Structure 1
């Protein structure tokens, strides 16, 4: 590996998914202002709005719309055609 090209602030960071309140420990260089204390150790904390722990695609709650069905509903609701 080349010397001097790697970041200096590479450390363990806690990523918290705000939607599910779950936490992920990962090494990162992300800048954080918050900290969290877990088992008497202080870690930098980065809060995420969405992650694979709460996104509908990853947790199996994604709903597909039937386009033909929604067009028919619209037409019947507003008496189109």
Structure 2
């Protein structure tokens, strides 16, 4: 890597406001707010609206969409009827 062209990476706390969970990770962001972490050190803080702790895909609360309606719409468009179904 060339020196002087990459942004500085440092520990930053990302707090999910929906789930109330905080993650300490590395980032190049420069937020103005700070928070005291569990180890007693003060780190920059970024509040996020959604993360893996509150997103339906990761929490297992994802809803199944109405696939029957989609199949019927597909059959209407492309001419498949109930008489020629297997």
Scaled to the shorter chain, the TM-score interval is 0.7 to 0.9
Where does the alignment leave 5 or more consecutive residues of structure 2 unmatched? 70-86
Which structure dedicates a bigger proportion of its chain to strand? 1
Q: Distance in 2 between matches of 1:55 and 1:24?
A: 15
Calculate the TM-score normalised by the size of structure 2: 0.70
1:18 corresponds to which residue?
17
Shift of 1:51: 0.7
Equivalences, count: 68
Larger Rg: 2
Q: Distance in 2 between matches of 1:20 and 1:35?
A: 19
Q: Distance in 2 between matches of 1:7 and 1:68?
A: 50
Where does the alignment leave 5 or more consecutive residues of structure 1 unmatched? 70-81
What is the root-mean-square deviation of aligned Cα atoms in Å? Answer: 1.5
1:49 corresponds to which residue?
49
SS in 1 for 2:63: coil
Q: Distance in 1 between matches of 2:3 and 2:51?
A: 33
